[in-house]
Amino acid sequence: MGFEEMRESGDVDTVWMDGEFVDWDDAKIHVLTHGLHYGTGIFEGVRCYDTEDGPAIFRWEEHLDRFYASGKPYNLDIPFDRDELTEATKELIRRQELPSCYIRPVAYYGYDMLGLSPETCPEQVAIAVWPWGAYLGEDALEEGVEVTVSSWRKYASSQIPTNAKTTGPYVNSVLASLEAKREGYTEALLLNEEGNVAEGPGENLFLVRNGEIYTPGLAEGILDGITRNTVITLAREQGYTVHEDATISRGELHTADELFFSGTAAEVTPIRKVDNVVIGEGTRGPVTGDIQQAFFDLVERRTDDHADWFTDVEM
């Protein structure tokens, strides 16, 4: 469902902008906004789940940590504190009566001047929420997706901070995703400048071999994904050995027993083919199935072991 269809169906009609709740159609910025021209913004993608104990935002505190940290390389100081952003997000969910939804906080340099330096531009913040199901498709969670290794490389941390979730550099992901769609694939995989596997356009990657789990380390130029951290924790709790600082070559993709994506949007999604090479048996593998089951059990049932990962939304 697209944004306009959601709005017309009555699911969403309000956005929070710079301390005020505004109508969806009035959530506008100036055409000369610095962030629009130069990509000087930061954002997060967060999910609220309809748990057995009511709506709850998953790992909100960790997302806020990264949100504030992402602004530091750009001297972008978010002019609202954590409590203000938390209450604004909860109120958005309550007003639109969304037991589950996707949450998009974004902060950016606004309109003042159009030189490269944003030092005189205002720091602005907005939050939107909307219903969003399985990012790569409902069938993908069980059947897996087909991906291709992109001709575009993931940028290095010596070029742009890879540990910051910055709006502008996501054009790298857009290019990879567009290329994959043109070639008939669901999603892409990006290699880093050394030719090793980095990540998907909006997902971290996991590889399973001989019952052990491998995922590219932060030194490979990946985003330190919050769902990635969740998967690593859940996998170890289930007794799996996880190598979280792995270097994975392109060729290892084709010989893997299993591959899967993780991410706030993608959640835990199996990969059944890479460049038309069947991975394992071409279906969701047993290890992926275990991790996926543990993940959805967690976000639906809110186990006591990880109660601190949830922020309640009192409807």
* Measured distance CA(133)–CA(271) in Å, rounded: 18
Please give the C-alpha separations between residue 300 and each of 120, 136, 173, 295, in angstroms, as whole numbers.
Answer: 45, 20, 30, 9
Please give the C-alpha separations between residue 136 and each of 65, 139, 274, in angstroms, as whole numbers.
Answer: 26, 8, 15
**CA trace torsion 85, 174, 115, 165 (10° rounding):** 40
Residue type, 171: V
**Dihedral over Cα of 279, 280, 282, 283: its sign:** negative
* Measured distance CA(68)–CA(195) in Å, rounded: 31
Residues annotated as catalytic (active site), given as ranges:
165
* Measured distance CA(177)–CA(175) in Å, rounded: 5
Q: Other CB atoms closer than 10 Å to residue 238's CB: what's the count?
A: 12
Please give the C-alpha separations between residue 215 and each of 48, 63, 69, 207, in angstroms, as whole numbers.
Answer: 26, 21, 23, 6
Residue 94 · residue 55 · CB < 8 Å: no
Residue 81 · residue 12 · CB < 8 Å: no
Residue type, 36: L
Give the SS3 label for residue 119: coil
Which of 83, 57, 50, 52 shows the shortest CA–CA distance to 68?
83
